[in-house]
């Protein structure tokens, strides 16, 4: 048998077309159903089915051989417990399709086919949507244009809309986080101008220095570089942050224009 230390968080009795199936939600987050109740409903030999489960790895891994449950007749009255083998509902279709129709009595075959089609879905919905019975007429009732059917459809539409909005919000938050990461990387002061951008800054400084030198009669290269370094908090033009390249070029362009009234670069 598999590990028997399954912790049951919630236990429910599900009416599946007249058959009572015990299902539980476990602490591991999975939903399980009693193998004994499945076998009893279908007239199967439980011991033979457990042996089949243990021979098939996928079923074996999803089987808990000794979970402690409270029988329905004793729930709420402080009475005892019973040990049942449980199988995860997501592998119930695999378990059921492994049962040959020829291995069950003729009168059981329609029920087995119904179990194979619907049992896992109904058991899962018992916990997710509070549905504790399989109603063959429910879809037909929904097809009617009654106020109740319309209200149900509207409620389902609201739930679906809320689900979609939650998913969209999650995607938006993820996209915003990625954008912030990219912007942070681009805005990193450690990311300096490219060699081509550095060359453009150097040429702009040269033009400003020559224009300023004609007015002062001095070599102004050091003064222009010094003003550029002071304004942008750097110690060399190649250390100019890439994100401030356009700002630096505008600063030098405006300076040159103020000196001679033209734009040489």
Output the pLDDT for position 22. 84
Question: Which residues contact residue 187 at a Cβ distance below 8 angstroms, ignoring those fewer than 6 apart?
Answer: 243
Q: Cα separation of 24 and 215, whole Å? A: 90
Output Rg (C-alpha) for the chain, integer angstroms. 37
Q: Cα separation of 68 and 34, whole Å? A: 11
Output the pLDDT for position 203. 92
Nearest to 34, CA basis, from 19, 24, 43? 24
Contact 201, 252 (CB under 8 A): yes
Q: Cα separation of 101 and 97, whole Å? A: 9
Which residues does residue 16 pair with via DSSP β-bridges, in sequence order? 19
Q: Cα separation of 225 and 201, whole Å? A: 10
**Angle (CA) 255 206 248, round 5°:** 50
DSSP 264: -
What are the sequence ranges of the domains in the chain?
8-135, 137-186, 195-260
Output the pLDDT for position 137. 57
How would you label 148-167 residue by residue, b for 16+ Cβ within 10 Å and e otherwise?
eeeeeeeeeeeeeeeeeeee
**0.75 cut: is pTM over it?**
no
For the chain, residues with pLDDT lower than 70 are: 1-5, 66-82, 126, 128-142, 176-190, 261-265
Question: Which residues contact residue 21 at a Cβ distance below 8 angstroms, ignoring those fewer than 6 apart?
Answer: 13, 14, 15, 33, 34, 37, 38, 41, 119, 123
Handedness of CA 113, 114, 117, 122 (dihedral sign): negative
């Amino acid at each position: 048998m598999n590990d028997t230390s399954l912790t049951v968080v919630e236990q429910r009795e599900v009416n599946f077309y007249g058959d009572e199936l015990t299902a539980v939600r476990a602490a591991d987050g999975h939903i399980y159903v009693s193998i004994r109740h499945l076998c009893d409903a279908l007239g199967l030999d439980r011991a033979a089915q457990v042996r089949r489960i243990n021979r098939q790895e996928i079923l074996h891994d999803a089987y808990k051989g000794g979970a402690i449950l409270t029988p329905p007749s004793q729930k709420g009255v402080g009475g005892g417990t019973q040990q049942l083998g449980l199988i995860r509902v997501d592998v119930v279709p695999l378990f059921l399709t492994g049962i040959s129709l020829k291995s069950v009595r003729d009168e059981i075959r329609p029920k087995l086919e119904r179990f194979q089609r619907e049992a896992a879905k109904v058991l899962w919905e018992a916990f997710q949507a509070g549905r504790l019975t399989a109603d063959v007429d429910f879809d037909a009732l929904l097809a009617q244009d009654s106020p109740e059917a319309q209200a149900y459809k509207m409620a389902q539409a609201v739930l679906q809309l809320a689900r979609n909005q939650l998913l969209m919000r999650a995607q938006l938050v993820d996209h915003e986080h990625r954008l912030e990461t990219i912007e942070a990387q681009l805005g990193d002061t450690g990311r300096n101008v490219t060699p081509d951008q550095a060359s453009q800054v150097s040429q702009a400084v040269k033009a400003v220095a020559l224009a300023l030198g004609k007015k002062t009669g001095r070599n102004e290269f050091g003064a222009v570089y010094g003003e550029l370094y002071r304004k942008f908090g750097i110690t060399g033009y190649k250390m100019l942050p890439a994100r401030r390249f356009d700002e630096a070029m505008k600063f030098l362009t405006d300076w040159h224009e103020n000196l001679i009234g033209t734009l040489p670069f």
